[in-house]
Amino acid sequence: MAEMHEGQQRDRTALVLYGSETGNSQDVAEELGRAAQRLHFVTRVCEMDQVDINSLLLPTFLLFVVGTTGQGEFPRNARKLWKSLLRKRLPADCLALVKFTTFGLGDSSYPKTDPVTDTARFNWAARKLHKRLEQLGAKEVYPRGEGDEQHEEGIDGTFLSWFADLRRHLLSCYPIPPGKSEIPADVLLPPPYTVAIREAPSTALESRSIADPSHPAASNSGRSDTHVNTSPSPALSQDNSSTSTETMDNARSSKNQFSMRADWMPEPEYQTDTRSQLKGDANDPDSAHADSEIFPPKDMLPIPKSFDAKLIRNERVTPASHWQDVRLLTFHVSEDRAYYPGDTVTIFPKNYPADVQALIDLQGWNDVADLPLVFEAQAPDYFGAENLVSKPPGLVPLEDSTMRELLLHNLDITAIPKRHFFNLIAHFTDDLMHRERLLEFTNPMYTDEFFDYTTRPRRSILEVLHDFPSVRLPWKWATTIFPPIRGRQFSICSGGVQQDCPGIHGKIRLQILVAIVKYRTVLKKIRQGLCSRYIAHLTPGSTLAVTMTPNLAFYKAVEASVGFPIIMVGPGTGVAPCRSLIWHRAAEAIEYPNQNRDMVLFFGNRNKQADYFFEAEWKNPTLRTEVFTAFSRDQREKIYVQDLIRRQGKLIHQLLSKNALIIVCGSSGKMPLQVRQAFIDVMEEYGGPWESRQHVEKTFEFLEKRGQYLQETW
């Protein structure tokens, strides 16, 4: 039987590999995997780092889906394979039997350019991968595709047409075997992941009762607590490189030995009253219930490489009357979790029990909601190839998890649904009108209607199921139907002396600055991001399981700039890594007092009175930072950070003549491109009449290449 399967695998197989930071590449890869299945390919979809070079030789063809992160880098789950492909001893024809294509997910606002080809490093990781595979002898089976997050229709703006042509090409190159036909789109594919009841209902009910917290078996021994608000809930809410990490950690440990006098008051272990911090929008119908809404249960997920972070403060730094709620969160973490400017911390949000119960009621899952589950591995002929999988990538459930716990901790029922979601749930309704409407959303011809219904109003999966109440989903398919909740990364905004915890042994302080996502769309109800809603209601004393990610490019650039000036551009919450760097250098100045520590910060926001973050700190002379501000709404003429850069052109030119490091942080989109243009304008204006525009742009590209111009955007 095994030999038959291996033979079948050699004859008609597809391997879809993805490198993804945010999950978008994974979504695209899974869509390609389903398409290959419908063409009768034995298909495997997995992260790039789950395979080695030898595995690339086995399938009939390969599909790579790769995003770009940081300064033109590969996602973390793709770097191991990429590094192995770069080995110099690899024969030039070692992949001669490989047939492949790639699809890249990029952002056209990314400014970095290739100094050799003079082309923008848009989709840089996918392009590098494609070129390297060809260098090793692999044959392109179809021209690569490139998606752009800045497209008005997102990645779909380019992916859909590329995907349709690829499918036709595969059918031409690899005809359907005799006696078979392509599996139609209206035929349901087997689920890649399913769950089942672990034990008999009577035994399970005796051993656990989530619905009744007073039940003696309801206490989960051995699980860390998250102290949260557990007041009664309101009615249903429908909102919704070459340097190793070890080496870098060793270098960082020496950097955290500095001490510095500052006016920091010792913090209490935790604050007990945050009502003033949690005021909602007066126009928000949910704001009256903000303090009484049930928060998710206390269990912490066993997230790999996670550690405990105890929330000490959750303070709003913008006025309660201001439209934008921005929070400064202060955590205490173990002293062995020392961090460096540019590093990020990942928080894993949870759903609210009111929303979860609404879904359970809507789907009729109450009988199984509180029974422990087992994750079932599926037959390799359908999905797993030689490696069986029982859980989706990124799903880290509690031990003996129930359906309710999966929905609370692991499955994102507030996500904006993808096209495939509509195709899937259309199979589980007996209402012909509902089925027809759901299938319309899967048709590329109705892209505008799809975006009008989902992306533009930010309609959630839960809201879709309320709109189509005839849909009854099989609970066994829950881990196939709902995407996993993904962690959200936030730049650490503390550094230097701010890491000290006076009077608290073995702990250091960690802070993040978070803008709460809360807005109105064409739907009447206010929209809130899952993580924003979670953070907004976190109470001091809560303990979270978080992970930390070092930023190697940031670290190397800052280390290379010791003794040189730094120019920082950080509008809005983009000031977070800039603040971390400012305090870090202030601490370093104690050990190296004679080194050049000139720093300039360009900060922008809407209103000085409402959102001038850390205004008081910038007056501290020990920071040696000159701050220039642009508040776009405080005068008739809008002023932005790029305007300030041009106004301070002489100063900028002087600092650049001293080999200053430039760091740009904040939202992606127009800002990074406009800021880059402003720096080029300054260099052209103050470089003298002999400096042509073309020469200035080449010089700027050289700064980017050697890491003297760093962009950290999200």
Is 573 annotated to bind a ligand? Reply is: yes
Least confident of 214-223, 412-421, 445-454, 697-706: 214-223
For 355, how many CA atoms within 13 A lie in the half-sphere containing its CB? 28
Is 145 annotated to bind a ligand? Reply is: no
Is 149 annotated to bind a ligand? Reply is: yes
575 vs 240: which has the higher pLDDT? 575
Is 639 annotated to bind a ligand? Reply is: yes
Is 23 annotated to bind a ligand? Reply is: yes
**Which segments of the chain belong to CATH 2.40.30.10?**
227-349+487-549
Environment class of residue 581 by beta-carbon count within 10 Å: exposed (0-12), middle (13-18) or buried (19+)?
A: buried
**Which segments of the chain belong to CATH 1.20.990.10?**
194-213+353-481
Residue 520 has what pLDDT? 67
Confidence of residue 70 (pLDDT cuts 50, 70, 90): low
The answer to whether 577 touches 513, Cβ cutoff 8 Å, is no
Whole-angstrom distance, CA of residue 438 vs CA of residue 426 = 6
Is 714 annotated to bind a ligand? Reply is: yes
Whether 292 has a pLDDT exceeding 60, the answer reads no
CB neighbour burial string for 414-428, b if at least 16 within 10 angstroms, e if fewer: bbbbbbebbbbbbbb
- For 549, phi then psi, to 5°, come to -120, 120
The answer to whether 231 touches 292, Cβ cutoff 8 Å, is yes
Q: State the greatest distance between any 2 C-alpha atoms of the chain, in Å, as a whole number.
A: 86
**Which segments of the chain belong to CATH 3.40.50.360?**
2-173
Is 221 annotated to bind a ligand? Reply is: no
Dihedral sign (CA 146, 151, 156, 161) = negative
Residue 109 has what pLDDT? 65
Alpha helix locations (H) across 141-244? 156-173, 201-207
Is 633 annotated to bind a ligand? Reply is: yes
Provide the β-strand partners of residue 664: 569, 711
> Mean pLDDT over residues 223-232, rounded?
37
Closest CA to 210 of 433, 1, 373: 373
Residue 170 has what pLDDT? 92
Is 531 annotated to bind a ligand? Reply is: yes
Helix, strand or coil, per DSSP, at residue 466: helix
Whole-angstrom distance, CA of residue 212 vs CA of residue 196 = 22
Structure-block tokens of residue 367 = 């009988």
Is 488 annotated to bind a ligand? Reply is: yes
Location of structure tokens 């050799």: 116
Is 25 annotated to bind a ligand? Reply is: yes
CATH superfamily of 194-213+353-481: NADPH-cytochrome p450 Reductase; Chain A, domain 3 (1.20.990.10)
* Mean pLDDT over the full length of the chain: 82
Is 24 annotated to bind a ligand? Reply is: yes
Would you mind telling me the total number of residues written for the chain in this entry?
Answer: 714
Confidence of residue 689 (pLDDT cuts 50, 70, 90): low
Confidence of residue 297 (pLDDT cuts 50, 70, 90): low
Closest CA to 442 of 460, 458, 466, 423: 423
Q: What is the CATH number of domain 2-173?
A: 3.40.50.360
Is 532 annotated to bind a ligand? Reply is: yes
Residue 24 has what pLDDT? 87
Residue 97 has what pLDDT? 93
Whole-angstrom distance, CA of residue 112 vs CA of residue 69 = 12
Q: Which 8-state DSSP code applies to residue 407?
A: I
Task: Please name the fold of domain 227-349+487-549.
Answer: Elongation Factor Tu (Ef-tu); domain 3 (2.40.30)
Closest CA to 489 of 394, 351, 347: 347
Helix, strand or coil, per DSSP, at residue 97: coil
Share of the chain above pLDDT 70, in %: 79
Helix, strand or coil, per DSSP, at residue 453: helix
- Other CB atoms within 10 Å distance of the CB of residue 152: 7
Kindly state the helix (H) or strand (E) to which residue 693 belongs, with its residue range: helix 693-705
Residue 69 has what pLDDT? 77
Task: Please name the fold of domain 552-713.
Answer: Rossmann fold (3.40.50)
Q: Which residues, 6+ apart, have CB-to-CB distance to 4 below 8 Å?
A: none
Kindly state the helix (H) or strand (E) to which residue 248 belongs, with its residue range: helix 245-255
Is 529 annotated to bind a ligand? Reply is: yes
Is 132 annotated to bind a ligand? Reply is: no
Is 640 annotated to bind a ligand? Reply is: yes
- Other CB atoms within 10 Å distance of the CB of residue 575: 28
Structure-block tokens of residue 557 = 């650039």
Q: Which 8-state DSSP code applies to residue 190?
A: P
Is 641 annotated to bind a ligand? Reply is: yes
Beta-strand (E) ranges in 274-343? 307-316, 326-334
Residue 296 has what pLDDT? 58
Q: Which residues, 6+ apart, have CB-to-CB distance to 180 below 8 Å?
A: 40
